Structure 1
């Protein structure tokens, strides 16, 4: 009986984040953070993932990519989708690659831009193809921030509909990826001039709602203008979509505050105030503990656990915080959870294991290099890829255990890895790699 209860609980954990795997009928990698938006590989795809590889060992293929992009690969129906853009942002492309062979099926120019806002101080870091695609039944959705959003036919890569009328001064380039749920495509714009979330009808592209952030940024200088040209209002966060009771919520972290919105109407449900900006890490929902884990941004980034249940309403800053980890947190890589443990890697490669109930640090271990990419978890194995091409596999447990380190400089990455059908897909600077045991 105990074993049955445990199995049932485990199943509910996978169902609770509204897994696209079950909702849409296919278990692949339709979102930049996987089928459950939390970096967890579906059980069917996890069992045969390799632990060791090199430039030649366990590499099924590598496919050259043109131009540049931070977008992560997404996968459905045997095709891998990602975006690229010219360094000046005037041309933006979507590429489809055959999952089995690595052959390029489509290389489509989607948008051309006459005027492109420079990337400011972020030159050399961000680019004009940072948001990832998201996939739905019979649809590919591409997003380049204010430069354009489109639905494509996955068979032909032809544009079904497009929108180029959603304004935002990104200032340092777009970063938030689109999210798909319940026939709604959710987009986030946190620029220096406007900060809002909007939902489009996924079928037609029509706007269903738009909600501006209610945040008091408290960043005006003596002249009444925002300090640092509005940079303190910037964020890059991809929202999480969760179900609490009978209500589906959009959880979005911005500068100086995060908000939750009703997916159906866009109504703001609750907010949490913080002191940071440039938030870029997706919230991690742990439904069996009724908490959501958020990272506040780049200035003194804090890791915060917020109680999330039907009582979470209004301003919850002083009422619903379970714990706060004030130091030693990443700015870019999303944490992953396993068996009540949270694993995260800092920008400079410090891997930390945290108790999800208390926020206490259980252990930390240095894994070499600098990290932008979020890890993935396959059963009790964690996969980390850094900007130098080092892939580290770690056991997800209460004591540190590094299983393998794999050094392939061409796999240097700033994009999240993907997993499907017993293989890992890594976007390097010049190639997309398929890592798979023979």
Structure 2
């Protein structure tokens, strides 16, 4: 594990990171859909003074109207908030930049126009054509729309520096995996019906550094990947996690029927873990102290599987490295959060569980109203949950899970992860982006 100083534009904060180089993203306040350390945890300075109560007007600094639709989460750097949107039919895909202090729209432009658009496989309303989130580096914004295109933009002008439109797959129900930055590489995941692969692009040029196809045996799924019958059995939406195990940096990626670990420099497969589900959409959770990675297997009987990793881990580890399995009561969409050896998670229908990270045993369970697709965040000692009806709940991040506040603002109904910066929450509703901050009144 390595100590890094993060020299941000407004403060200096010492954090313990996962052990690989965050050099490409560390100046940002919330550079990735899951925050500065990719695990939903806000930096201490950004979390300071965060409100626990708000209404339609109280503690709302501003709200900015958005157009069209998107599941992408806001990301924040250098005073700008970035997100994407797309028309309902997918023919136009946009990037939007909003001033963090004022809510003013700074850039709103079409990045890609599509003459041919793949239908969403009968899932209209569940997914859309702007689901992957942006990822930020100093001076750069990386936008990704799956097989429709990937681009690097100038963070000041929003001009396109490079783009790729040749990385294809049949998404079947639309793209969902967000890009990941590590050193000079942009990692992209394509888990479609017809092909499933991970690719690393050079952040300076957009050229391919490596591409690795999944080695998964899909069993009874036909080789032609016929979408009408078996499409889901090859599909996944997972955003990978990059973590250092021993002296080796690995890309941990969960797909349908199996997950793989890849060497970040070459794309070589290091190990694989088989499972029986599909449509995996939750990023793996790395438990640093325990050297465990917790994966969610997907939508059919979603399991949480904790896997012990060390620098000797190789090959098929399904029968050798699993420490515990949580069979039931797991989410399909919202990423869990770890705090002081406890895992907190919320299911699609609002059941919050506190789980012992060492053995998977349930410690506490309570009901949060509504349905959840957005991942929670941890700010200081408090967990923040936002549901699809606009309910924002604040819960203590300890064994008691005491509910501190429940804030009902229907306009904040969301499917996107919230972001934290400068003592404020940023929530993408269906029509507006909100800044929630303690009022100066």
Q: Same fold (TM over 0.5)?
A: yes
SS of residue matched to 1:237: coil
Measure, in 2, the Cα distance between the counterparts of 1:306 and 1:323.
8
C-alpha spacing 1:172/1:224, structure 2 compared with 1 (3 Å): closer
Report what 1:129 is aligned to: 130
1:29–1:75: 8 Å Cα contact kept in structure 2? yes
The verdict on how the C-alpha distance between 1:421 and 1:409 changes in structure 2, with shifts beyond 3 A counting, is same
1:53 matched to 2:54? The reply is: yes
Matched, 1:231 2:232: yes
Which whole-Å CA distance do the structure 1 matches of 2:64 and 2:19 have between them? Answer: 33
Q: Distance in 2 between matches of 1:220 and 1:108?
A: 40
Structure richer in helix, relative to its length: 1
Residue 45 of structure 1 and its aligned partner are, at CA, apart by 0.6
Q: Cα–Cα, structure 1 residues 361 and 115, in superposed 2: closer, same or farther, change >3 Å?
A: same
Moved over 4 A (4+): 22-25, 221-227
Q: Are the counterparts in 2 of residues 146 and 164 from structure 1 also a CA contact under 8 Å?
A: yes
Partner of 2:55, secondary structure, is coil
2: CA distance, partners of 1:417 / 1:58: 16
> 2:289 matched to 1:312?
no
Q: Distance in 1 between matches of 2:372 and 2:21?
A: 27
Q: Which residue of 2 aligns with 1:3?
A: none
User: Deviations 1:77-132 (Å, cap 9, x if unpaired)?
Assistant: 00000000000000000000000000000001000000000001211110000000
Sort the Cα spacing of 1:19 and 1:73 in 2 relative to 1 into closer, same or farther, 3 A.
Answer: farther
TM-score (norm. length: structure 1): 0.95
Offset, 1:417? 0.3
Number of equivalent positions: 427
Residue 366 of structure 2 is aligned to residue 361 of structure 1: no
Uncovered stretches (5+) of structure 2, i.e. residues with no partner: 1-12
Q: 1:424 to 1:12 in 2, by over 3 A?
A: closer
Change (3 A) 1:63 1:195: same
**Does 1:343 find its partner at 2:344?**
yes
**Correspondence for 1:193:** 194
- Within 5 A, what are the aligned runs for 1:236-385? 236-385=237-386
Q: Offset at 1:246?
A: 1.3
1:105 corresponds to: 106
Tell me the equivalent position of 1:16: 18
Distance 1:386 1:225, change over 3 A: closer
Shift of 1:245: 1.4
- Cα shift at 1:288: 1.1
Q: CA deviation at 1:312?
A: 1.7
- List gaps (5 residues or longer) in structure 1: 1-10
* Gap change, CA 1:25 and 1:166, over 3 Å in 2: closer
Equivalence for 1:117: 118
8 Å Cα contact 1:17-1:36 kept in structure 2: no
2-side partners of 1:228 and 1:311: how far apart? 39
- The aligned residue for residue 185 of structure 2 is 184
* Counterparts in 2 of 1:24 and 1:263: CA distance versus 1, 3 Å: same
Instruction: Tell me if structure 1 keeps the 8 A contact 2:210–2:267.
Output: yes
Note the C-alpha offset of 1:228.
1.5
1:16 deviation in Å? 2.0
Specify the alignment match of 2:402 in structure 1: 401
* Structure 1 position 227, deviation (Å): 7.6
Q: Secondary structure at the match of 1:433?
A: strand
**What secondary structure, in the 3-state scheme, does the structure 1 residue paired with 2:122 have?**
helix
Conservation of the 8 A alpha-carbon contact between 1:384 and 1:393: yes
- How far the C-alpha of 1:385 sits from its partner, in A, is 0.2
DSSP 3-state at the match of 2:411: helix
